[in-house]
Amino acid sequence: MYDFEFYNPTRLLFGRSSLEQLDTLVPNDARVLLLYGGQSAKRNGTLAQVSQVLGKRICAEFGGISPNPNYHQLLQAVEQIRQQKLDFILAIGGGSIIDAGKFIAAAAPYQGEPWEILETDGRHIDQALPLGTVLTLPATGSEMNNCAVISNSALGLKRSFRHPSVFPRFSVLAPQLSFSLPQPQIANGVVDAFVHVTEQYLTYPVDAKVQDRFAEGLLLTLIEEGPKALAEPENYQVRANIMFSATMALNGLIGTGVPQDWSTHKLGHELTVRHGLDHAVTLAILLPTMLRLRKAAKHAKLLQYAERVWQLSDGSEEQRIDAAIELTRQFFESMGLKTHLSDYGIGHEAIAPLLENLERQGLTQLGEDGRVDLELSRQVFQASL
């Protein structure tokens, strides 16, 4: 196991009545900006419940934040915070809204041009406004990590930053708030969480038994509960297990002291930027192909994955690995996500521009060993058609 430091200050409030605890978590004299997305938080009553619990606190609103939040839209919220002297951000939604909250929290007190935050991976941030979250879509783990992913449609880029000051102070995880999710978003959440685990687990062994077994537990839970969430949309326990899995998949724990990959995510971001595919859809398409093309580098962990996650013990090592990758792809399909670019009308001609964008950003040595270069990325896109 590698040396590591683990720091995660986010307080989690988990359960049916966790929303009520907002009253004790948000300071009485806070001047709050409520952030939310297009429709769902209003339609399913979450926003009204939050407003009721916050009572007489000063609350302003900034709604309409789009999935894959866009830099230019978020600057308007930064302006609102500065003008109205707001000092607390409460993000109500999925990863997009929480990531937006992190960016706004860092950008509002930032001295320079806010785009610098994304250009420099957050290195020059020295403070951020306090942020709390009410999670409505289990998927990204953003509710318990210090990372945010922001798009810039004008530049055709999706960039991330991280900084300790944007860890949410608290996150409310009330699984029933996810009952109103449409099936494709339930599937997206399960697949995104699954791939967060594989990015930190399917690399090469460093004898990190605790991290490995936590990771395998999360994968097994997602495989078991994912289809149930589609079949029984109001099963609280199923949603609770999925929600906690998604949070634990990317709160730093399973990634401590181990090599990490993230090449599937980096290539996936390009598909979202250029073709508008949902984040998780890009992962469902690319992960099986990435694993197939990286079989040699990932041999030992793929074999462990085949045995411990898919209970495959017959046949040659090669056969077990192939079967595990195919079962992974079938799992994504069983959740309702298609796993080929052609399913989304994306053909061969799309590949060159995707590679150009990777090159422009210097994303030419990806993966746990830096071996996912442009040629390998081309092969991954090609084999995903």
Site residues, Zn ion (CB under 5 A)? 192
H or E stretch at 12:
strand 11-14
Residue type, 224: E
Query: Applying CB under 6 A, does 139 fall inside the site for ligand NZQ?
Result: yes
Nearer to ligand NZQ, 44 or 304 (CB): 44
Q: Which of residues 155-194 bind ligand NZQ (CB under 6 A)?
A: 177-178, 180-181, 185, 188, 192
Q: Which stretch binds ligand NZQ (CB under 6 A): 13-21, 141-149, 211-219, 315-323?
A: 141-149
With CB under 6 A as the contact rule, the residue among 95, 101, 114, 168 that binds ligand NZQ is 95
Nearer to ligand NZQ, 13 or 137 (CB): 137
Query: Applying CB under 6 A, does 106 fall inside the site for ligand NZQ?
Result: no
Residue with CB nearest Zn ion? 192
> What CA–CA distance (Å, rounded) separates 307 from 293?
20
Query: Applying CB under 6 A, does 97 fall inside the site for ligand NZQ?
Result: yes
With CB cut-offs between 5 and 8 Å by kind, which of ligand NZQ, Zn ion, none does residue 153 bind?
Answer: none
Nearer to ligand NZQ, 44 or 379 (CB): 44
Give DSSP secondary structure letters for 301-334. HHHHHHHHTT---SS-HHHHHHHHHHHHHHHHHH
Asked if 303 contacts 296 with a C-beta cutoff of 8 angstroms, the reply is no
Minimal distance, residue 65 CB to Zn ion, in Å: 18
Q: Which two tokens stand for residue 163?
A: 């900084």
Nearer to ligand NZQ, 282 or 328 (CB): 282
Query: Applying CB under 6 A, does 261 fall inside the site for ligand NZQ?
Result: no
With CB under 6 A as the contact rule, the residue among 133, 136, 256, 328 that binds ligand NZQ is 136
Q: Which among 338, 303, 344 is positioned nearest to 322, based on CA atoms?
A: 303
With CB under 6 A as the contact rule, the residue among 239, 279, 294, 301 that binds ligand NZQ is 279
Minimal distance, residue 243 CB to ligand NZQ, in Å: 11
3-state secondary structure of 294: coil
Phi, psi of 14 (to 5 degrees): -115, 130
3-state secondary structure of 96: helix
Q: Which stretch binds ligand NZQ (CB under 6 A): 113-121, 137-145, 300-308, 340-348?
A: 137-145
Beta-carbon-side half-sphere exposure of residue 181 (alpha carbons within 13 Å): 29
For strand 31-35 and strand 58-62, is the pairing parallel, antiparallel, or unpaired? parallel
Nearer to ligand NZQ, 177 or 285 (CB): 177
With CB cut-offs between 5 and 8 Å by kind, which of ligand NZQ, Zn ion, none does residue 137 bind?
Answer: ligand NZQ
- How far is residue 315 CA from its own chain's centroid? 35
Minimal distance, residue 305 CB to ligand NZQ, in Å: 20
Residue type, 251: N
* Stretch 339-368: interaction string toward ligand NZQ, x if CB under 6 A: ------------------------------
Distances (CA, A) of 353 to 267, 295, 371, 374, 379: 12, 26, 21, 12, 14
Asked if 33 contacts 60 with a C-beta cutoff of 8 angstroms, the reply is yes
Nearer to ligand NZQ, 95 or 132 (CB): 95
> What CA–CA distance (Å, rounded) separates 204 from 260?
9
Asked if 338 contacts 286 with a C-beta cutoff of 8 angstroms, the reply is no
Query: Applying CB under 6 A, does 10 fall inside the site for ligand NZQ?
Result: no
With CB cut-offs between 5 and 8 Å by kind, which of ligand NZQ, Zn ion, none does residue 40 bind?
Answer: ligand NZQ
- How far is residue 62 CA from its own chain's centroid? 22
Minimal distance, residue 53 CB to Zn ion, in Å: 30
83 CB contacts (<8 Å, ≥6 apart)? none
Nearer to Zn ion, 188 or 211 (CB): 188
> What CA–CA distance (Å, rounded) separates 136 from 42?
12
Q: Which two tokens stand for residue 368?
A: 């746990």
Q: Which residues bind ligand NZQ (CB under 6 A)?
A: 37-41, 44, 67-68, 93-97, 99, 136-137, 139-142, 145, 147-149, 177-178, 180-181, 185, 188, 192, 250, 265, 279
